[in-house]
Amino acid sequence: MDIRPFTIAIPQPDVDDLADRLARTRWPDELPGVGWTRGVPLEFLKELAAYWADGYDWRAAEARLNAYPQFTTEIDGQRIHFLHVRSGNPGALPLVLTHGYPSGFAEFTQLIEELREDFHVVVPSLPGFGFSTPVHETGWSMGRTARAWIELMRRLGYDRYGVHGGDVGGGVSGAVAGLDGEHVVGVHIVTDPYSAAATATFLPGMGEGLDPSDPVDRSALDRMARFRTEDSGYLAIQNSRPQTMGYLLNDSPAGQLGWIAESFERATDLPYDRDQLLTIVSLYWFTGSGVSAARFLYEQAHSSDWGAPPAVPQGFAVFGADPTVRRLVGPPADAHWTEHERGLHFPAMEAPKELAADLRTFFGGPGAGEVVH
């Protein structure tokens, strides 16, 4: 039950060690003219690593993060780190934001600024991510995480609240809504063509019943096939051999950087803050959470615990929208559904104002909590 204040304070020797390791990176060679077709291009990663070592200011980023009230608590034997940013309006609706992979709580800093007047914002770090470490036992699936979020909101004294997330965070948010419908007023999910194809590929039941003779269904099936052949490699490794991958992620900052930066480059279409990306990567590096975050994906891939389907109003904000997304997601007929032409997998960083506006619309505006559906 104990909730303790938390301040990020990375020891200076760890900061110096990062710069030293980056300077001594043993770079591989690269075939000419292949671009992004075989992974992160060498010159792209060299330039980003050089900026991480000599241009990016971790201490400034640390101070910005510490401006948000942070806490830790233990739930079900696991340390859980979270931000808790209270609105100036005491009657504001509490809203839980859950990040996905490969991301972390720092993804939401711009979105928090857009929402903090209208909502009490709670941003937990998934078990095995950032400061919600170490993880001492197996079994931390989406369902178990959802139950931890429910307990966290109970400890914070919130009787009614909304949930939001994308990617893995969308799955956790949906499970919270299904397990705690008595207190959850609505669930809001962000998705995009990339996420929809990934989810339909791996979530049982999604993508079934698509008709190859229908042009839109055919496009959706083609998108799933492209995901399997071109974009699912990281999932295949982490869903089967996360520990082996962990040695690279835990020992080489260039390896950790490339692993995360590739996702941001391939799954965004609007500019994002490079320093914010490096803050996310730095949190993985300083907490040694590359391997435990990878294990979270393994746990879900080998679990049947998806929580329960939502029984509350559902909202969807689609970024980079095309007709395949609705076919793949299959939302309820009365779901709130908003399509945005630009932005993709990380809208909290790519389009925070647009995402915040959709959240306010769905949850009913400042302090109202009257979910639109």
Q: What CATH number matches the domain at 3-363, 3.40.640.10, 3.40.50.1820, 3.40.50.300, 3.90.1150.10?
A: 3.40.50.1820
How many Cβ atoms from other residues are within 10 Å of residue 25's Cβ? 17
How many Cβ atoms from other residues are within 10 Å of residue 293's Cβ? 29
The residue behind tokens 């979910």 is 371
Tokens of 237: 């490794």
Reference 19, options 247, 253, 250, 246; nearest CA is 253
Q: What separation in angstroms does the CA of 168 have from each of 12, 31, 145, 265, 352?
A: 33, 34, 11, 19, 19
The residue behind tokens 């993060």 is 65
Whether the Cβ atoms of residue 188 and residue 164 lie closer than 8 Å to each other:
yes
Radius of gyration of the chain (CA): 20
pLDDT for residue 143: 95
Q: Tell me the pLDDT band of 194, cut-offs 50, 70 and 90.
A: confident
d(CA 153, CA 311) in angstroms, rounded, equals 18
pLDDT for residue 371: 61
pLDDT for residue 309: 87
% pLDDT > 90, the chain:
84
pLDDT for residue 207: 67
Amino acid residing at 181? G
pLDDT in tens, 54-91: 999 999 999 999 999 999 999 999 999 999 999 999 99
* Class of residue 2 by CB neighbours under 10 A (exposed 0-12, middle 13-18, buried 19+): exposed
pLDDT in tens, 17-56: 999 999 999 999 999 999 999 999 999 999 999 999 999 9
Whether the Cβ atoms of residue 79 and residue 159 lie closer than 8 Å to each other:
no
Q: Tell me the pLDDT band of 205, cut-offs 50, 70 and 90.
A: low
d(CA 131, CA 105) in angstroms, rounded, equals 10
In degrees and rounded to multiples of 5, residue 352 shows phi and psi of -65, -35
% pLDDT > 70, the chain:
96
CA 102 to the chain's CA centroid: 6
d(CA 56, CA 281) in angstroms, rounded, equals 12
* 205 phi-psi bin (left φ>0, alpha ψ -120 to 50, beta other): left
Reference 309, options 180, 182, 222; nearest CA is 180
Amino acid residing at 209? G
Mean pLDDT of the chain: 94
Whether the Cβ atoms of residue 350 and residue 270 lie closer than 8 Å to each other:
yes
Evaluate if residue 262 carries a pLDDT over 90.
Answer: yes
Whether the Cβ atoms of residue 192 and residue 319 lie closer than 8 Å to each other:
yes
pLDDT for residue 367: 40
Q: What separation in angstroms does the CA of 81 have from each of 39, 151, 331?
A: 32, 13, 32
Tokens of 198: 């990934």
d(CA 27, CA 24) in angstroms, rounded, equals 9
Reference 312, options 201, 210, 192, 175; nearest CA is 175
pLDDT for residue 373: 39
Q: Give 127 or 1, the one with higher predicted confidence.
A: 127
- Which strands, in side-by-side order, build the sheet including 70-75? 3-6, 70-75, 78-85, 119-124, 93-98, 161-166, 184-191, 314-319, 336-340
pLDDT for residue 204: 60
Average pLDDT over residues 302-322: 92
Q: Tell me the pLDDT band of 231, cut-offs 50, 70 and 90.
A: confident
Reference 293, options 284, 304, 280; nearest CA is 284
Amino acid residing at 96? V
pLDDT for residue 307: 81
pLDDT for residue 366: 44
Average pLDDT over residues 142-159: 97
